[in-house]
Amino acid sequence: MASLVPFDTQRVFIGGRWEAAARAETIALGNPSDGSVLAQIARGGAADVDAAVGAARAALGGAWGRLTATERGRVLAEMGRRVLAQADELARLEALDVGKPLKQGRADAVALASYLEFYGGAADKVHGETLPYQAGYTALTWREPHGVTGHIVPWNYPMQIVGRSVGAALAMGNACVLKPAEEACLTVLAFARIAHDAGLPAGALNVVPGLGEEAGAALASHAGIDHISFTGSVATGALVQAAAAAHTVPVTLELGGKSPQVVFADADLDAALPYLVNAGIQNAGQTCSAASRILVERPVYEAVLARMAERYRALRVGPALADHDVGPLISKRQHEIVSHYLALARDGGLRIAAQAELVADAPAGGHYLRPTLVADVPDVHALAQEEIFGPVQVLIPFDGEAEALAIANGTPYGLVAGVWTRDGGRQLRMARGLKSGQVFVNNYGAGGGVELPFGGVKRSGHGREKGFEALYGFSALKTVAIHHG
C-alpha cells in the first residue's frame, strides 16, 4: 500500500499544516480495478471544517490577502508548472483511485495545469468600469472576492474540477475550503502538497476529506462560508443549496446531464463517429456531460448504428493501470445502478446493438461493466430520460429539425449538446433552440477548452465555471458613486 500512495493520506490540511482530524477515524479508499483497499483517508467533520474556515479567514487578513492580483497570478502559474512536472505521477494516482485509464488521468493532470496557467494569467486582467452618470458624480465598479469559498468536488474528475473552481476562486483572491469526495481524493491531497510547495500562503487552501453527510454538510451550512461551489448529483445539490440558503450564501451548482448529440443526414459521419462514441464511454461514462443520447435522422440511422456498433465491439475494458479504452466503474454501488438500467433495457425488449469486450485478465474484484450501445430507444424510456452515469448510450431516430429539438430538449436536464450538420442555417437554428449550457457544432467538447464557460440550465444547475465567467462568479461587484460637485 505504501508503495502505491507515497504520502500520508490520513490527515487534513488546515492553515498550511497536515494534522490529524478531530475524530480519530478513517474511511477506506477502494481500488476500483481490483476491489482492494487502496488507502485510508481522514474522516473529517464539523470541527475540522470550522478550523479550516477559521484558517481561511485568517489568510484573508494575512499574507494571502496582502498579495496583489499579479502576485496571486504568479503563485498560480508556479502551481501549474509543478502540476505539469508531476503529471505522470498524478495520472497514476488518478488511475488507481478513480479507475480511469492512465491516458485519461494524464489528460486530467494536464488540464489542471492549464486551468492554473489560465487563471494565473487572468488574475490581474479582471477590470472594473467607469459609468456615465449625473454631472458632479464619478461612478465606477470593481470586483472583490467573496471571502471564504467552499468547494465540494465529486470523485469522477477531481483534478479538473479543482482546477476550474479552486483555481478561479484563488485568482480572485478568495481563500478556499475544499471537501473532496470520499470515494476518490488522492490527487486532491497531492494537489494540496503541490500548492504548498509552490508558495501558496498558509490558509489560502484548506482540504478536509470526509463523508458528504458529515464534512460536506458542515461546509455547506457553515455560517463563515461566503460562497459554495458544488458539483455532483441533483439530489445532493438541492441539499447544498438549501443549507447555504439559511445564510443567504450564493451557490454555483453543476449537476447532472442527459446530453444529446444530434446527427443530421448531411453530417460528416467520418468526423462525427469518434466523438459520438468517445463522449459516451470516457471515464466509463461517469461524466456529467457524457453524450448518453445519440439522436440520428432516419436516412442515416442504420449507418450510424452500424458504425458505432463496430467501434463498441473493438473497445477493451480492463484495469486502469493497463491503460485500455475503458476502466472500471468507481464502486460496487455504481455498478449496481448501471446494471439496473441495462436490466430495464433487456426486460423491456430494447435492442442491445453492441457491447465492448472485457479483457481476460481483469481482476474478479474490479467493478467492470462492458460499455453497451442500445438502439431504437423511445425518447420517453427511462434509459433516454434518466442520468445513468455509466458507459451506456442510447440511439434514438428522428425526422427533421422540429422533432430533433423536441427530443433533445425533452429531458429535465440541459448541460451540453452536440449538433452534426453541414447546413449553416441549421447549425444556428439548432444552437439557438437547444436548452443547454453549452452547444458544440460539428465537434463535442472542443478539446475541453478551459476558456469556455461551463454550466447548465434546468436540473443541470446554475452558475458558470471555466473561462472568465468563473472569475465573475467567484467575485462580487461593488458600485462606487463619488459626489465631487
Give one word for 480, left, alpha or beta, with left for phi > 0 and alpha for psi -120 to 50.
beta
Q: If you count DSSP H runs as helices and E runs as strands, how many of each does the chain have, helices first?
A: 16, 24
- Verify whether residue 254 is a known catalytic residue: yes
Q: Where are the alpha helices (DSSP H) in 212-291?
A: 217-220, 234-245, 269-281
Contact 371, 286 (CB under 8 A): no
Query: What angle separates helix 87-98 from helix 186-197, to the nearest 10 degrees?
Result: 160
CA-closest candidate to residue 416, choices 365, 362, 380, 455: 455
Catalytic residue among 78, 254, 297, 465: 254
Q: Which of 185, 288, 297, 401 is catalytic?
A: 288
Strand 357-358 and strand 351-355: the pairing is unpaired
**What residues does 358 pair with on adjacent strands?**
317
Q: In what order do the strands lie in the sheet with 438-441?
A: 351-355, 372-375, 392-398, 291-297, 259-263, 416-420, 438-441
DSSP state of 226: S
Secondary structure of residue 138 in the 3-state scheme: strand
Q: C-alpha 305: how far from its chain's center? A: 29
Active-site residue 288, yes or no?
A: yes
Residues forming the active site? 254, 288
